[in-house]
Amino acid sequence: GQNIDQPTEMTATEGAIVQINCTYQTSGFNGLFWYQQHAGEAPTFLSYNVLDGLEEKGRFSSFLSRSKGYSYLLLKELQMKDSASYLCAVVNGGATNKLIFGTGTLLAVQP
């Protein structure tokens, strides 16, 4: 079966660091995306990992371990505007780039 698990909600303080974890069990794997989604808006691309290791992009970093079926998104120097849902999505492989999404982690950044 296909299963992607993320915490439902997290709370963090402005200026702090937060790590959002994602574990997955899928029939195929061709990479993992992290998206940010503000309420009522479309998901926007944050990061893509296909090989093991850490990808850093400004305040955002994403890590992947394929052998453990595990990824995390690290957000540094949190800002109020980072309050959003963060979606972990696995590229299922094969000819299409079908994405299998987790339910998302709703992050609330408090002053």
Partner 1 sequence: DAGVTQSPTHLIKTRGQQVTLRCSPKSGHDTVSWYQQALGQGPQFIFQYYEEEERQRGNFPDRFSGHQFPNYSSELNVNALLLGDSALYLCASSLGQGGEAFFGQGTRLTVV
Catalog residues that contact partner 1 under the rule CB under 8 A.
Answer: 4, 30, 35, 40-45, 48, 87, 89, 94-104
- Comparison of 14 and 41: residue with beta carbon closer to partner 1: 41
Say which amino acid occupies 43: P
Smallest distance, partner 1 to C-beta of residue 72, A: 17
End-to-end CA separation in angstroms for the chain: 41
Smallest distance, partner 1 to C-beta of residue 63, A: 19
Q: Which two tokens stand for residue 30?
A: 């061709």
Phi first, then psi, for residue 81 (nearest 5°) are: -70, -10
- Comparison of 70 and 76: residue with beta carbon closer to partner 1: 70
Smallest distance, partner 1 to C-beta of residue 106, A: 8
